[in-house]
Amino acid sequence: MKRRTLLKGGLAALALAGANYTGLSLLGKSGFIDTARADGFTAPLPIPPLLEDLGSRSDSARFIMNVQQGSMDFFPGKPTATLGYNGNFLGPTIRVRNGQRFRINVNNNLTQTTTLHWHGLHVPAQWDGGPRQPIPAGTTWKPVFTIRQEAATLWYHPHAMGLTGEQVYQGLAGFFLIEDEVSDNLNIPKAYGVDDIPLVIQDRRFFRNSQFAYAQNMHDILNGVIGNYLLVNGAMQPSLSVHGGLVRLRLLNGSNSSIYRIGFKDHRTFKVIASDGGFLEQPVAMNSIVLSAGERAEVVVDFADVEMGNQVSLMVEQMKGSFFEAMRFTVDRAAETAVQLPKILRPLDKIPESEADTIRRFTMETMSMGRGRMGMGMMGRRLTINGKKMDFNRIDEQVKLGSTEIWEITNQGAMMMSMPHSMHLHDVQFQVFSRNGQPPPLHERGRKDTVLIMPGETVRIISRFRDYTGVYMYHCHLLEHEDDGMMGQFEVIS
C-alpha cells in the first residue's frame, strides 16, 4: 500500500512531542508482512447485509446474532483466522426505529467470554453489554429494550474486561442504525448500500503466516496496536460503483487505537451532516475530518463533477503519518434525480450551561512519572483516569437521575510520554461544550458519545442523565488503553 503525504495540514499539525510512533520497533519489522502489494481497487466494497428482522410487528424487532470463529483470505490462498457476527468478519448492520421494541438473542459460539455493547445507545444498564454483562462461552444473552433515541449511526462491538482489543481486532464489530421521522423526511441519500454507504475503517498488521499480529506488550498497550494495512468493511483496497450525484458515507473509525484524518485524494469538499449521535443542525463543509477510535461522522459527497468511468480515491492518514489510499469510488452512471442538500437538517436542542447541577473533573494520564521510578518509567503507574485503574468493586462517580452535568476532561501532557485519548461515555449522548475554553468546531456541535482529547487539552462536555439508573462505564476508547484499565464506573441513582 502506498504511503504518501497528500492532505495538507494533516495530522502533522497534531504532532506529539516525545510520543513514540515508530510502530513496530520493539517487535522488529522482520516478523511482519510488509505493505508492498499488487495494485488493488478491483474487488468490490463489501456492504454489510442488513440483519433480517424476525418480528412480524412494526413496533417490535427480533434478531439473532451468532458470535463465531471464521476465516478470511486477506492474502490470496493464505487464510487468516478471524471472528465475526453471523459470518467470517465484522457483522451485519442492525437497523431499528426510534420507539421500537428491540429483542435479540446473542449466541456466544466462541471458546471464551465475550459481551455485546451497543456503542452510543441510550439503553438500560443491565442491557448495556459492557464488562458487567459477560456472555460466557456457549451461552445466549437475551437483551430486550425499547429504542428511545433519535436517528443516528451507532455501532456494536465486544467489551469484555481485558478482551475487547483482541476480539475487535479479530473482527467483532458492526453498525447499528437508528431511523426516525426526521431521517425519513430529510432530503438526503438514504438507499442503503446504493447511495447511503456504511464504511468501517480499520487498520491491521499481520505476521508472515498471515495471522493477525495482535499483541498486548507494553509498547502496544501504550501506543495502541497500529496497523500497516487498511481495511474498509473488511476489504483491502476495494472499490465501489456510485452514481454521479450525492453519496452519503457513514464513516466509523473502527480501529483499535488509530486516529484517522479522512478525506479525498483530490481534496474535494464534502458536507458533514451527522456526528456520533445524530444530525447536526446544518451541514458543515470540510475537506478532511479527524475521527478517533470509536467516533463516527456521516458525510455527503457530491460526485456530479466526475466524468463517467473516472474514479475518486478516499484517503486515510494515521496519526503517525502513514497515508493509505483506502478505497476508490467509480462513477459509472448518472444520478437519476438531482438532490439538493437542505440548509437546515433539524433544530438541535443545545443543553445550556446553566442547566448543569454539577461539574466533575477527570484527568486522563498516560504516565505518572512522579509515582514511577526514574529510569523505569514504563514500570510506573500508567494509563489512569484520576490516578485510578478500572476496579469492578469500586463505583467512581454517582450521578443523580434527572440531573445535568458538565464533565471536564483533561489529557495530562507529560514530557516523556504523551498520548491522545478518546473519552467515551456509556448511557448518554453528550454535547461538547468547549475545547480548551473555546467553542468546539462546527462539526463537533452535535450529539456525541466519544471525543478526542489530545495531550494537554481540556474538553468540557455536558450531558443529561435521564430514564435509566444503574452502573455504566466511561473509558478511553483506544482499546489497548481500555483493556489496560483506563476505565471507570459511574452509577446513576434515583
Residues found near Cu ion in the complex (CB under 5 A): 421, 476, 478, 481
Tell the smallest beta-carbon distance from residue 301 to Cu ion (Å): 31
Tell the smallest beta-carbon distance from residue 361 to Cu ion (Å): 17
Q: In terms of CB distance, is 219 or 421 closer to Cu ion?
A: 421
Q: In terms of CB distance, is 160 or 476 closer to Cu ion?
A: 476
Tell the smallest beta-carbon distance from residue 414 to Cu ion (Å): 13
Residue that the C-alpha cell 454489510 belongs to: 48
Tell the smallest beta-carbon distance from residue 477 to Cu ion (Å): 7
Q: In terms of CB distance, is 243 or 424 closer to Cu ion?
A: 424
Tell the smallest beta-carbon distance from residue 277 to Cu ion (Å): 21
Q: In terms of CB distance, is 338 or 415 closer to Cu ion?
A: 415
Q: What Cα–Cα distance (Å) separates residue 238 from each residue in 46, 190, 234, 268, 313?
A: 8, 22, 9, 20, 10
* Cβ atoms within 10 Å of 386's Cβ, excluding its own: 13
Residue nearest to Cu ion (CB): 476
Residue that the C-alpha cell 458538565 belongs to: 406
Contact indicator for 435, 462 with CB cutoff of 8 Å: no
Give the Cα separation of 216 and 119 in Å (integer).
Answer: 23
Q: In terms of CB distance, is 272 or 417 closer to Cu ion?
A: 417
Q: In terms of CB distance, is 144 or 218 closer to Cu ion?
A: 218
> For residue 330, which phi and psi values (nearest 5 degrees)?
-105, 115
| H-state helical runs in 170-239 | 181-185, 218-223
Tell the smallest beta-carbon distance from residue 27 to Cu ion (Å): 21
Give the Cα separation of 444 and 454 in Å (integer).
Answer: 15
Give the Cα separation of 140 and 104 in Å (integer).
Answer: 10
Tell the smallest beta-carbon distance from residue 441 to Cu ion (Å): 21
Q: In terms of CB distance, is 298 or 480 closer to Cu ion?
A: 480
Residue that the C-alpha cell 520497533 belongs to: 25
Tell me how far the alpha carbon of residue 377 is from its chain's centroid: 30
- In the sheet that holds 430-435, the strands lie side by side as 381-385, 358-368, 404-412, 458-464, 430-435, 447-448
